[in-house]
Amino acid sequence: MNSKTTVLQVNDLTVQFDQEGRLVKAVDHVDLELVHGEILALVGESGSGKTTLGRAIVGLARPNSGSVIIDGVKVDYRRAGDLRLLWRKVQMIFQDPYSAFDPLRTIVESVLLPLHKFGIFQNDTLAREHVERVLNSVGLNYNELESKYPHELSGGQRQRAAIARALVVSPRVLIADEPVSMLDVSLRAGILDILKDLNEKNGVTVVFVTHDLAVAQYISDRIAVMYKGKIVELGSSTEVVREPFHPYTRLLLKSVPRLKAKQEWRFRTDSGTRAVDLTTFTGCNFYPRCPIGVDDCTRGEPRLQEVKPGHWAACYTPLLAFAES
């Protein structure tokens, strides 16, 4: 994978919000690098910062510091020209496929719109032929949708149309923000398979935002686990799920439903509760909930360390849990 071209770099990115007079770091000094054709899953519970990170990459949330580099070019979010170039190369698929569309435009008109905005096709016939090919690639029929509005489609069809609209400008990177969380379980696998197929056939690089580690393992090459704005574990999807080093990742795994068989990992995963004065505490953010916290955890925020080749964790005791059985 290292031999592939780097498409997206996120360097020391921070996004802050004012919450009742208090600054909250939704994204806290995050570093990431994606290569061409990779699918990276951002995983974490609500409030972990995963969606904000995705929105910051595409410019929908303005970073306070740090940088985003696309194809070796640093994005200046203050310049309209840079944002236009960014949106040409990075597109987003939103969680709600209904509110993502203008209800007064037909689906075909909505998918055509980015082509007109970026001036990609001067000839309307060529533009419509391109839209037809893209719609076909996500399992939709152009002729059936030409006169249909968003409310006339099912949730699964709308999400397929949303993927088509994102793909129509041939972006380098797709940011998929929980694209299956609002769909029926029976429809989710189809959407995931579309994204995997587009990734394999077209080499589209994907940042897939989800709270579900099972979905992350199914679709991604690597998983980055986020907690309170920081990446606390990063590695291949197989490694992170089978041999998680951070206690928060293990807590997420424990919450994944298991219909049959026993868990494949053995260690203490119950979430702890510690009284900590968060206004003055400078240790590990997860320490108040951590079942294996030690004194070192209170002395400073742990940095990501490479526990095994290609597998990183921000934890002072990443191997401690495996001593317990």
Radius of gyration of the chain (CA): 21
DSSP symbol at 47: T
pLDDT recorded at residue 136: 94
Task: Give pLDDT, residue 269.
Answer: 46
CB atoms within 10 A of CB 79: 11
- Separation CA 318–CA 321 (nearest Å): 7
List % helix, strand, coil for the chain (3-state, nearest 5). 35, 25, 40
Euclidean distance between CA atoms 307 and 318, whole angstroms: 8
Class of 6-227 in CATH: alpha beta
pLDDT of residue 3: 52
Sign of CA dihedral 158, 162, 168, 174: negative
What's residue 126's pLDDT? Answer: 94
Query: What pLDDT score does 322 carry?
Result: 44
Q: Which residue has the tokens 């310049």?
A: 79
User: SS3 letters for 234-296?
Assistant: EEEHHHHHHCCCCHHHHHHHHCCCCCCCCCCCCCCCCCCCCCCCCCCCCCCCCHHHCCCCCHH
pLDDT in tens, the chain (325 residues): 445 899 999 999 999 998 887 888 899 999 999 999 999 999 999 999 999 999 999 999 999 999 999 999 999 998 998 999 999 999 999 988 888 899 999 999 999 999 999 999 888 999 999 999 999 999 999 999 999 999 999 989 999 999 999 999 999 999 999 998 878 877 888 899 999 998 988 889 999 999 999 899 999 999 999 999 999 999 999 999 999 999 999 989 887 665 444 444 444 445 556 767 667 788 898 988 888 888 888 888 899 999 999 999 999 887 654 444 3
Which pLDDT score, from 0 to 100, does residue 26 have?
A: 94
321: tokens are: 């849990």
* Three-state secondary-structure class, residue 23: strand
Residue 193: both structure tokens together: 């398979």
Q: Which residues make beta-bridge pairs with 272?
A: none
Q: Report pLDDT for 265.
A: 44
* Boundaries of every domain in the chain: 6-227, 244-323
Report CA-CA distances (Å) from 238 to 76, 115, 116, 243, 286. Answer: 35, 38, 41, 8, 23
Q: How distant is the alpha carbon of residue 247 from its chain centre?
A: 21
